[in-house]
Structure 1
């Protein structure tokens, strides 16, 4: 059905009439004449090809089809009213819609959003995620975050704002580190390697950086994306390679840590784009705050002095 064909005025009149003992009372609620309500309902019945009301004495009774339609339309009107009330109550707050890679959104952005909104009480942040290979949606978002710079963006999009360069290092669950502590790079051979297809060769590159050569890595789990691999790490199934900045000095609600944070190799850089040029004031505030959070998370000593008995 084409939504443009929906007789919305007639449906509203019908919903009020269905809750009223008579058309006269429904007309008073709607602020129109009895004849206007009758005409709206007659036109709705003609459009549907079904009778919605039957008379019983001087009162109207809903037909079986009328009851079905009344329930659905009344509930829909309530939901529309509730949505309008929410928007009107929240009109003093402006929403910033942010699209980000799924792993960055889950492990960096989401744990910090309350902090941003507390510091900026008139702004709210809504987050959408994007997987590797998906096209960024500049049309539906105010800010788009990328891993690596986009090769070409629309001319109306703002310039790329640097956030951080990945410091890739092993990440493990607290529970696994209790069972198999990591004090030197070779100890990681006691953990099953968990890899992601979207980031090939990261284990080999880290072992090379750690001075262990390029050992043959056998077995272990392999997932399509890093955010899925990190779920397996959280379950204590092994360790993976991930950006150190995602598991830094903040309270780590996922119980993950970097056992050897000072041994890392550089990965891709993250950037933030304003979806509009010139940038809106709200986007500027958010991107500046995000850059500050990234600088804090990128400190050289993050996580490097956490004793194992603290996990």
Structure 2
């Protein structure tokens, strides 16, 4: 298998330009070198490949079948490199903060609010990566890690962890579903299919117990592997789920509601863990904004957060 250091990059670039222009002279003019220099690089490439990439037709050149394959791949690769370089050059006056967060938190809390942050901080872009339950956090590639549940392992590698909030779990339904049937008591919810996720077992059991409904047999519902997938099913009207009320109602187009927002059970705690690569100037702004957004959400409810 070839290694990067073995690739004749100068020769490949000369060939790619010549293939595009169908002329060694035109390629030489574009590259700012002599015709002989381009011709030499093409010969070196052909010797290295052991294949002819051009046939000469007078003063012009034509691609061989092998040359055509190579030219197409190089063209795509160089366009990708050019686009990446242009993107980075455009960001010279804009810093980037890389944040890794649990998938459901990223999708249902961060993303609906992120435009507000970037509008108030035009010099700072936030790149979000999502992490599945059980997946190892990527400390090396991010400035800030947000965790749900036990974050002790991360805290040992973090400069100073910050508690964010504790989940208040309550049923969430689509407005369309609630329009189909009157829901006045917790027991009325049992008429709907009850949706669960494998990564958050026991949510319905805990909430039904809090509501005074015990020994319910789960039948006719849907079970998904991850919470964010289950939430999409809720938005599609498949049934009801117990989820953190802090994430809802969210965007108006989601058309989601919590029919019993004050009847909650405590869930996991969230925390933010800065890594050693984070720039304190940008990190501080994002954390202050995040804490303010959480404060705004929690102050809308009647129960304070227990952290």
Q: Same fold (TM over 0.5)?
A: yes
Partner SS for 2:98: strand
Partner SS for 2:136: coil
Is it true that 1:31 corresponds to 2:32 in the alignment?
A: yes
CA distance in structure 1 between the partners assigned to 2:36 and 2:251 by the alignment: 66
Are 1:193 and 1:221, in contact at CA under 8 Å, matched by a contact in 2?
yes
The structure-2 alpha-carbon separation of the partners of 1:190 and 1:16, relative to structure 1 and needing over 3 Å to count, comes to: same
CA distance in structure 2 between the partners assigned to 1:128 and 1:199 by the alignment: 21
Deviations 1:204-258 (A, max 9, x none): 2112222x1423232122222221221221121211100010004x543321110
The structure-2 alpha-carbon separation of the partners of 1:77 and 1:198, relative to structure 1 and needing over 3 Å to count, comes to: closer
CA distance in structure 1 between the partners assigned to 2:200 and 2:21 by the alignment: 63
Q: How many residues align?
A: 300
Q: What are structure 2's unaligned runs of at least 5 residues?
A: 303-307
Q: What does residue 305 of structure 1 align with? A: none
CA distance in structure 2 between the partners assigned to 1:200 and 1:74 by the alignment: 50
Are 1:95 and 1:126, in contact at CA under 8 Å, matched by a contact in 2?
yes
Task: Give how far 1:300 is off.
Answer: 4.8
Are 2:174 and 2:256, in contact at CA under 8 Å, matched by a contact in 1?
yes
Task: Give how far 1:117 is off.
Answer: 0.7
Deviations 1:167-207 (A, max 9, x none): 11000111110012222222222222111222222112112
TM-score, structure 1 as length reference = 0.90
Are 2:154 and 2:273, in contact at CA under 8 Å, matched by a contact in 1?
no
CA distance in structure 2 between the partners assigned to 1:42 and 1:254 by the alignment: 61
Question: Within 5 Å, which residues of 2 pair with 1:10-29?
Answer: 10-20=11-21, 22-29=23-30
Is it true that 1:285 corresponds to 2:268 in the alignment?
A: no
Q: What does residue 234 of structure 2 align with? A: 233
Are 1:149 and 1:160, in contact at CA under 8 Å, matched by a contact in 2?
no
The structure-2 alpha-carbon separation of the partners of 1:115 and 1:82, relative to structure 1 and needing over 3 Å to count, comes to: same
Q: What does residue 209 of structure 1 align with? A: 210
Task: Give how far 1:158 is off.
Answer: 2.4
Is it true that 1:270 corresponds to 2:234 in the alignment?
A: no
Q: What are structure 1's unaligned runs of at least 5 residues?
A: 303-311
The structure-2 alpha-carbon separation of the partners of 1:230 and 1:204, relative to structure 1 and needing over 3 Å to count, comes to: same
Question: Within 5 Å, which residues of 2 pair with 1:136-155?
Answer: 136-153=137-154, 155=156
The structure-2 alpha-carbon separation of the partners of 1:54 and 1:197, relative to structure 1 and needing over 3 Å to count, comes to: closer
Is it true that 1:100 corresponds to 2:101 in the alignment?
A: yes
Are 2:149 and 2:268, in contact at CA under 8 Å, matched by a contact in 1?
yes
Partner SS for 1:238: coil
CA distance in structure 2 between the partners assigned to 1:277 and 1:78 by the alignment: 30
The structure-2 alpha-carbon separation of the partners of 1:63 and 1:35, relative to structure 1 and needing over 3 Å to count, comes to: same
TM-score, structure 2 as length reference = 0.91
Partner SS for 1:200: coil
Are 1:54 and 1:63, in contact at CA under 8 Å, matched by a contact in 2?
yes
Question: Within 5 Å, which residues of 2 pair with 1:1-311?
Answer: 1-20=2-21, 22-153=23-154, 155-210=156-211, 212-219=212-219, 220-248=221-249, 250-276=250-276, 280-301=280-301
The structure-2 alpha-carbon separation of the partners of 1:97 and 1:66, relative to structure 1 and needing over 3 Å to count, comes to: same
Query: Would you tell me which structure has more helix in proportion to its own residues?
Result: 2
CA distance in structure 2 between the partners assigned to 1:294 and 1:245 by the alignment: 8
Q: What does residue 308 of structure 1 align with? A: none
Task: Give how far 1:155 is off.
Answer: 4.9
RMSD over aligned CA atoms reads 1.9
Task: Give how far 1:163 is off.
Answer: 1.2
